[in-house]
Amino acid sequence: MKNKLLLLSLYIAFSFSLSDVYAQSFDAFEKHTLIKDQDTLPYRLLLPENYDPNKKYPLIIFLHGSGERGNDNEKQLTHGAALFLKKENRAKFPAIVVFPQCSQQSSWSNVKITGTGKDRAFEFTADGAPTFPMQLVMELTRALFDKYSVQHKKVYVMGLSMGGMGTFELVNRMPRTFAAAIPICGGASTAIAPNLKDVKWWVFHGGKDDVVLPRYSEEMVAAMKKNKVNVKFTLFPEANHNSWDATFEQPGLLTWLFAQKRK
């Protein structure tokens, strides 16, 4: 019994220790807030180590999924932030990395969701005004250009699930801004495909995704290819909705991303 209690105590202590390390590791992402009129956009910002304002750095905008919405300015780092905190990645790919946070009741893109489970469907709007969070992300992107030393030819956007949808949306709204985009388990209206030509794309999805069906990425990729958009598509046959895990482990992911440059 004593041995079991000792093991339990050690396990609890180890768990809390890991939690502390996990929390502290995200401290490198500075907390900021963009305020525009009556709207507020929390965001976290990671500067390159030994940031030099006299140098130019690539900029990455990362859009989270629906589960990370809110205003705590923390949850949006749940998926993806660790990738950019890896020592080897910070050394090899110095960049300004930004994770904005969408408000709880809104979305990055204009999409209507109906049904539940396998009957869930997404109806995307190709036009119309952007959502308030998307407006703020666009405003934030422009503000970052003014505040930091951004290499304008190497601006990228990534996102997962709702953020994958937002990735398509943001490029559609700012087609001359980004050099490359990586939407993960997302989707969009195929009608916007002609607007995506000036950007290099790498689309990811899980073959067993029952939250956002793979067809939403497949249909987008087909429409993009039809419109001569430079796109490649990786489908993980055994992955469900959390295909971002496999994406972050994809060999050459960041090498490909940082190799892209606007003409």
The phi and psi torsions of 200 (rounded to 5 degrees) equal: -85, 140
Q: What is the mean predicted confidence (pLDDT) over 127-136?
A: 94
- Tokens 């890991």 identify what position? 18
In sequence order, which ranges of 126-252 are alpha helices (DSSP H)? 132-147, 162-173, 215-226, 243-248
pLDDT digits (tens, 9 = 90+) for 232-259: 999 999 999 999 999 999 999 999 999 9
pLDDT digits (tens, 9 = 90+) for 185-206: 999 999 999 999 999 999 999 9
pLDDT digits (tens, 9 = 90+) for 34-61: 998 888 999 999 999 999 999 999 999 9
What residue segments make up the domains of the chain, in order of their start? 28-259
Q: What are the C-alpha distances in Å from 201 to residues 2, 98, 228? A: 57, 19, 12
Pick the CATH number of 28-259 from 3.30.70.920, 3.40.50.1820, 3.40.50.970, 3.20.20.140: 3.40.50.1820
Distance of alpha carbon 174 from alpha carbon 95, whole angstroms: 20
Distance of alpha carbon 194 from the chain centroid? 22
Regarding predicted confidence, which is higher, 80 or 120?
80
Q: What is the 3-state secondary structure (H, E, C) of 19-59?
A: HHHHHHHHHHCEEEEEEECCEEEEEEEECCCCCCCCCCEEE
Distance of alpha carbon 96 from alpha carbon 53, whole angstroms: 11
pLDDT of the residue at 12: 35
Q: What is the mean predicted confidence (pLDDT) over 96-106?
A: 97
> Is the pTM above the cut of 0.75?
yes
Distance of alpha carbon 93 from alpha carbon 33, whole angstroms: 25
C-beta separation of 133 from 36 below 8 A:
no
Q: What are the C-alpha distances in Å from 211 to residues 116, 122, 154, 194, 242? A: 9, 10, 32, 27, 10
Q: In what order do the strands lie in the sheet with 30-36?
A: 30-36, 39-46, 96-100, 57-63, 150-160, 180-184, 200-206, 231-236
Q: Is the pLDDT of residue 79 over 90?
A: yes
The residue among 120, 144, 158 whose CA lies nearest residue 57 is 144
Mean model confidence pLDDT for the chain: 91
CB neighbour class for 157 (10 Å; exposed up to 12, middle 13-18, buried from 19)? buried
pLDDT of the residue at 116: 82
Q: What is the DSSP letter of 99?
A: E
